[in-house]
A and B are shown apart, each in its own frame.
Chain A
């Protein structure tokens, strides 16, 4: 333990628990995954600036710790419902960056055959039930997934991720209540990135922490540091264990920050450059986790330093795949509306 990294007793215990249970390769893979997400989104922004992308996008740069921590706490076969700022969760879930980039570029080889785009990437085969363009749109659906799991008597869990903005939609109230009265295996993960487009969460809530809302549904509710990957991992894992054992849902508020604007046209008049820089310089989830792994000697400096180039190279391949892929055939325009 060196002076550079500060860990309280709980953080140290989390670190050792994960290392013991999942091993160093797993811990290193999570760092790589965060780099892949950041590289994907930086490239997405660049492609947009170059005029190669037709639609909008919502970047989650700065929020990678939450996506990777949460996804890795679950098992194969579990379900994911995601939100509009969802590239990171999708990649963390294990989706192929090439097919994601192809979708972003609107190509036939994309996950949704170019019909969905950035806001609707789904990979149904891996139980990733999609990003969602409607704030809180996926939350009531999680109730149905939870019901289905319960009826089919499997040990699956449904993770539904939404933002602080979604926490003020009425649909969330209905869904949390239903999940609670029926003890459904659902994890409500609220990614509080501080702003619902321009609205600061402090102005949109009259509670200190969004997780206080959970008490009204008699479900556990906690706030975690969303830029501390292992804190997210551990809390989601605990919620998953509870869900699998039939004890019901959990609400987790994960406090994080988006470095980029809400979408492509955001002038960011609602916050200061200093505030953004403070998060980037002092609380970045990738830097923090990299420092943890190197200082705790899970990864060497060379290994950690090599991950960014590796991630960039993966994204280079993804972009090449996407750009080389065919557009959808207009003759297929009517396909896919009805089963």
Chain B
């Protein structure tokens, strides 16, 4: 199978949606001629025109509101926040409008929109361009939250998100845009709400999201040489969370490590830990459930400080090794 990058996979999904569904349009800052700040929409403006690949002024609340209004009246907008950080400027439209309209109206309206946004650190962009805010949205009933960790997931999940009749927060990662992988051509979908067991193993369950999946896989390679087998699990959809495979895995391994880039306090990891603790897997635990997450600071500028602020492959390996060896 051919290999394409994560950014190309996203573009292929957008291209497919624009080609097959006249209700789909893209809207965001610099997504037209410029091709998007990270190049995801490159070429789509030339092919589909300004009417369907809409460049906006720098107006994040306006972009999000435009998505809500268009979605309420029969369209399927795909909005883009240039950086995930900037979604803070549109929280009202997203949290108080998009997420709540259906429920407030007694289930009589739907808001089929996707808001794409690149999160994460590692680019030296410092504290206002490196946020990982996914758990804010996990906390909001009415929203779905998707975080693809690979090119194949990026394509398959984006097409499913566009097809979904609910507002979907689609969190991409800046460092993954250039990562390559096998991606099926044509209409390829991965259903939302399906947790993926990326690598099977018997000693420690590692639940990781977004870029932490590839780092967990690297850690698994390292530990395999030491005879420690990690089972790497990617929820892919954080909300609604398909927790059954996680619980089954922990019953098998008796050990669980949750890894994400967002800061630890109030992070998604706490939810996963709670799901494990509340489940039948609790009785199978042979060690405390551990979290490995971003430290509780804004993302720093300096390269070494930035790297130290979020989990790296070696950190995951060290933490999993301790769990496997009963040292914690």
B106 & A143 in contact (Cβ 8 Å cutoff): no
The answer, yes or no, to whether B97 is at the interface (CB within 8 Å) is: yes
- A 266-300 to B, binary, CB cutoff 8 A, 1 in contact else 0: 00000000000000000000000000000000000
| A144 CB contact (under 8 Å) in B68, B96, B103, B105 | B68
- A 101-135 to B, binary, CB cutoff 8 A, 1 in contact else 0: 00000000011111110001010110001101110
Residues of A within 8 A of B64 (CB): 140
A198 to B276, CA, bound (A): 50
Closest beta carbon of chain B to A167's beta carbon, Å: 15
B77 & A338 in contact (Cβ 8 Å cutoff): no
The answer, yes or no, to whether B56 is at the interface (CB within 8 Å) is: yes
Closest beta carbon of chain A to B85's beta carbon, Å: 18
B109 & A124 in contact (Cβ 8 Å cutoff): yes
Assess A142 versus B69: contact at CB under 8 Å? Given A113-B106, A137-B92.
Answer: yes
Residues of B within 8 A of A112 (CB): 104-106, 108
Within 8 A of A (CB), among B1-38: 25, 27
The answer, yes or no, to whether A178 is at the interface (CB within 8 Å) is: yes
B65 & A339 in contact (Cβ 8 Å cutoff): no
Within 8 A of A (CB), among B83-140: 92-93, 96-97, 101-110, 112
The answer, yes or no, to whether B190 is at the interface (CB within 8 Å) is: no
Residues of B within 8 A of A170 (CB): 61
Please name the residue on chain A nearest to B66 by beta carbon.
A144
A139 to B25, CA, bound (A): 21
Within 8 A of A (CB), among B159-174: 164-166
Residues of A within 8 A of B102 (CB): 336-339
The answer, yes or no, to whether B227 is at the interface (CB within 8 Å) is: no
Residue count of chain A within 8 Å CB distance of chain B: 45
Residues of A within 8 A of B57 (CB): 174, 177-178, 181
A130 to B112, CA, bound (A): 17
A116 & B59 in contact (Cβ 8 Å cutoff): no
The answer, yes or no, to whether A22 is at the interface (CB within 8 Å) is: no
Residue count of chain B within 8 Å CB distance of chain A: 43
B165 & A174 in contact (Cβ 8 Å cutoff): no
A144 & B77 in contact (Cβ 8 Å cutoff): yes
B77 & A130 in contact (Cβ 8 Å cutoff): no
The answer, yes or no, to whether A8 is at the interface (CB within 8 Å) is: no
A151 to B53, CA, bound (A): 12
A79 to B93, CA, bound (A): 19
A138 to B274, CA, bound (A): 37
B72 & A141 in contact (Cβ 8 Å cutoff): yes
A186 to B264, CA, bound (A): 45
A81 to B68, CA, bound (A): 12
A122 & B105 in contact (Cβ 8 Å cutoff): yes
A114 to B107, CA, bound (A): 11
Assess A335 versus B107: contact at CB under 8 Å? Given A174-B59, A177-B59.
Answer: yes
B69 & A146 in contact (Cβ 8 Å cutoff): yes
The answer, yes or no, to whether A171 is at the interface (CB within 8 Å) is: yes
A148 to B72, CA, bound (A): 9
Closest beta carbon of chain A to B163's beta carbon, Å: 11
> A-contacting residues of B (Cβ < 8 Å)?
25, 27, 51, 54, 56-57, 59, 61-62, 64-75, 77, 92-93, 96-97, 101-110, 112, 141-142, 144, 164-166
> B-contacting residues of A (Cβ < 8 Å)?
79, 81, 110-116, 120, 122, 124-125, 129-130, 132-134, 137, 139-149, 151-152, 158, 170-171, 174-175, 177-178, 181, 335-339
Given contacts A116-B104, A174-B65, A338-B142, 14 further A-B contacts (CB under 8 A): A81-B69, A115-B104, A115-B106, A124-B109, A132-B97, A140-B62, A143-B65, A143-B66, A147-B69, A147-B75, A171-B65, A171-B92, A171-B93, A174-B62
Closest 8 CB pairs of A and B: A140-B65, A144-B69, A336-B107, A113-B106, A174-B62, A339-B165, A174-B59, A112-B106
16 contacts between A and B (CB under 8 A): A81-B69, A112-B104, A114-B106, A120-B104, A122-B108, A124-B72, A130-B105, A132-B97, A140-B61, A144-B68, A148-B69, A174-B62, A178-B56, A178-B59, A337-B141, A338-B166
